[in-house]
Amino acid sequence: MDYNDFEIAAFWVLSFAAAVPMVILGVLVHLRCGAKARGRYLFLGCLASIIYGLFAGVLVNAMFPPPYVQGLSEGRGLDLRGTALILGSWVGGILGFIAVVTTSLVSSWMRRRTARRTSVPQQLPNP
């Protein structure tokens, strides 16, 4: 596996690494916590997605730097290795943000729908 293959795999991992845990966390907040926790989830989840988008690609690029290439180090070419890591973290941050907002909206919609169903009195037909 060379660095190009690693970069493609890391792009897809970085793209979905923020959204999937945010949806799982949002479902757990919906099932176990109240309305105040949903507001915190929305704020902190959006903030975490933005921070993820800004720093995840840089961190992965620092942990796994591209290999040294003599031709690129002398200025005879444009070195774009590692760009997919940055783009993957941006895509992941955007998807995470969208996932947090969507999960929060669906959660509040389901709570209102459930509350409306349980608060409407049931009319029994007269025999």
Whether 10 and 84 have beta carbons less than 8 Å apart is answered as: yes
Of 31, 49, 10, 51, the C-alpha closest to 107 is 31
What is the rounded CA–CA span in Å between residue 104 and residue 71? 50
Output the tens digit of pLDDT for each of the chain's 127 residues.
888 899 999 999 999 999 999 999 988 888 888 777 888 889 999 999 999 999 999 999 999 888 877 777 776 667 778 899 999 999 999 999 999 999 999 888 887 877 777 765 666 676 6
Name the residue with tokens 């995470």. 96
Residue 61 is inside which H or E element, if any? helix 35-63
pTM of the full structure? 0.80
Q: Where do the domains of the chain lie?
A: 7-65+81-112
Residues in the chain: 127
Sign of the CA dihedral with 40 first, then 43, 45, and 51 last: negative
